[in-house]
Chains A and B, each alone.
Chain A
Amino acid sequence: PTTPVARTTRPISESLLNEKWDRCLSSMLIRSGLGLSFGIVFSVLLFKRRAWPATVGLGFGAGRAWEECDNSFKHAAAPSKDGLRVLRP
């Protein structure tokens, strides 16, 4: 007996949050890594190997990822209004 596979186009509803978490973590890793690397490069090239450019880059990357994640969480809960006409009084 073959179990019917869930459609790939729409994720299962109970795993929505988990997916979001996954994406958030990955983006956080990537962005903070990018920021850190840029900071290191800058510190080597311009700032005589000071530590703070690397931390600043890391902060930038992490902050950007945080903001994106926050946005995605905030806008997901409300039902999407795509294709709906909004009637204003």
Chain B
Amino acid sequence: MLRASLLRTRPIAPAAGLLQWRVANRFFADSKKPDETVLPGSQSAKTNIEIPSPTLSTSPANPSGVSASTIAASEVPKTPPTPQEVRSAPVAQPATTPPTGTGSASVAPPPSAPKPKKRRFRRFLLQLLILSALGYAGGVWYSLVSDNFHDFFTEYIPFGEDAVGFFEEREYRKRFPGQNVQQRLHPQLSGEQKVTIPSKHGLTSRIAGEGEGSGSNLSSSGPHVSALEDDKSRKPDPSGETPKVGSTAPLDAEKPTESLTHDLLPKAAMIDNLDIPSAKEPVVQDVVKILNDLITVINADSAASKYSSAIDKAKSELGKVISDITALKEQEQKAAEDKIRSAHLEFDTAAKELVRRLEAQMHEQESHWKDEFEAEREQLAQTYKHKLDSELEAAKKLYEQRVKNELLEQSIALQKAFSSSVRDRVESERDGRLSKLNELSSSVQELEKLTWEWNSVIDANLKTQHLVVAVEAVKAKLANAETSTPFVNELAALKEIASDDPVVSAAIASINPAAYQRGVATPAHLIDRFRRVSAEVRKAALLPEDAGIASHLASLAMSKFLFKKSGLAVGADVEAVLARTEVLLEEGDLDGAAREMNGLEGWAKVLSRDWLGEVRRVLEVRQALDVISTEARLQSLLVE
């Protein structure tokens, strides 16, 4: 009802936008009712009602409803093939799907075959990339861990060295963050400062003899740079070229210049030849070499005639310079020789002076040592003489002392003999009287000892008397007691008296403390309690082992009809034991009564436990007292 009213109150908007809003704000009230839903097939109740086609009012929920309603030609479901067609068509049945039935129509649809070929290749590439990246990363990591692998990795894997180096550098920086970040690694790793040595570096192949003359060979002896050799090597040239000049006519214009230069060459060689004997100085040699080079250059050039005069002048100048140098050298040599000679003379005089001085010194030292030796010898002789004198004196003194000692010994021996003889005489005389005195003193000592012994005897007697009295006191206390009374005081006195007697203290220790603190039961009390206990025990006399409530009841009832035994009955049953115990108790034999009751079993024993404990305590006290009194008697007997 409420829903209906709500629906009615809602304004119906004609516009599509408002409609959309309304759909968006849907209420729970207008949810679909179950009986309005239309199920496919004939299950729903509304099948006979025609299914409403999707109208525009519902279209906003799916805007493409209208367009989608017109089905494309491709999506129109094909008409199924006729059974004959199906049967005639070859059944392409995949091996994986088993036939679901016998008919061809029930064959399961084949699984949609995947056919992304391109994608597979891409996937393979991707996997390869990932795998290789992983492998590379693993390699880097393992090379950081293992040295062996590090070597292998950096050598054979491209960029492996850089990668490992980068990680090592990072680790190093992490470990030492404060340090400057200079390149710690080998510079080779970063690829800088690489020194490349070209192939055949420093090695050139050549024939051994060739070109030796062209270089300056200063190390070898003899003429280092000779223009003659140069000349010799050149000589074949003009000879070879002159025939050429003669044979070849068209080259006439150039011939004279060439021949001129070639004529100049021997002149230059002649000048050089003059230089050689004096040219031992390296400077001169260099100059000569330069000049020769110049000459060769000029020779090679065609314009030799231009420089011939200049070269000649240079040659003559060179000759002058060389002669100057030689003159200078000679002068220097002479000066040096003079110097050497004067130095020799100086050394000779100095040596002579030195030798003379040394000899004088040696003489002086010798005389000095001689004097010292003499003085030392005299001193030694004197000391030896002193020693000899003192030893002689000592020996004399020793001898005198020894003689004196012998004399003294003799006198002492004489005195001893005298005194012993005197003592002998006196003793022999005194023994007669003093022996009697000795006897007297010994007898007095014996008397003293006797009195001491008697004192101890008297003490022991007193002690035993005290002991006996104390024991008697305890016994009297026990015997006279009407009810159980504590006898701590008496026992304490007894213990005080016989504190050093182990037997008495052991006996007292054997008594249960409860016995003397609360007292022990009197025989009358025991008998009285036995009567009560026996009545209870009799009730439980017929109980079997592990009895339940029924047997207890039975025992309680049946025990009323038991015949009472009396006197020293024979048998091990409860009634007989009770009778015997009673007789023994009346006789006063507590020990026997306790033994009898101890023979009971089961509930009977449990019931008589307290009574037994009481009897035992009494017996313990009695036994201890018996022991103590016996001990006291023994003590009194032991004293003589």
Interface of A toward B, CB cutoff 8 Å = 1, 3-4, 12-18, 21, 24, 66, 69-70, 73-74, 76-78
Contacts and interface: CB of A to CB of B under 8 A. Distances in A.
A14 B546 contact: no
B153 interface: no
From B537, B549, B609, residue with most partner A Cβ within 10 Å: B549
Given A24-B549, A77-B547, A14 B533 contact: yes
B536 A15 contact: yes
A14 B607 contact: yes
B602 A77 contact: yes
A69 B549 contact: yes
9 contacts: A13-B609, A14-B532, A14-B536, A16-B607, A17-B539, A17-B540, A77-B545, A77-B547, A77-B602
Chain B: number of interface residues, binned into ranges = 20 to 34
B519 to A, nearest CB: 7
A78 B546 contact: yes
A7 to B, nearest CB: 10
Nearest to A67: B549
Interface of B: 482-485, 518-519, 532-533, 536-537, 539-540, 543, 545-550, 552, 602-603, 606-611
A70 B228 CA distance: 155
A59 B546 CA distance: 25
Contacts, number: 55
Looking at chain B's contact residues, is the secondary structure mostly helix, strand, loop, or mixed?
A: helix
Given A1-B483, A13-B607, A16-B607, A73 B547 contact: yes
Closest 5 CB pairs of A and B: A13-B610, A13-B609, A70-B548, A14-B536, A70-B549
Contacts of A4: 484, 518-519
Contacts of A69: 549
Contacts of A3: 483
A70 B536 CA distance: 19
A78 B543 CA distance: 13
B547 A74 contact: yes
Contacts of B603: 17, 77
B410 to A, nearest CB: 97
B483 A13 contact: no
Contacts of B537: 14
Contacts of B548: 70, 73-74
B547 to A, nearest CB: 6
A5 to B, nearest CB: 10
B611 A14 contact: yes
A63 B390 CA distance: 137
Contacts of A70: 548-550
Nearest to A71: B548
Contacts of A18: 536
Nearest to B539: A17
Given A14-B532, A17-B603, 10 more contacts: A13-B607, A13-B610, A14-B533, A16-B606, A70-B548, A70-B549, A70-B550, A77-B545, A77-B602, A77-B603
From B533, B550, B606, residue with most partner A Cβ within 10 Å: B606
Nearest to A72: B549
A13 B608 contact: yes
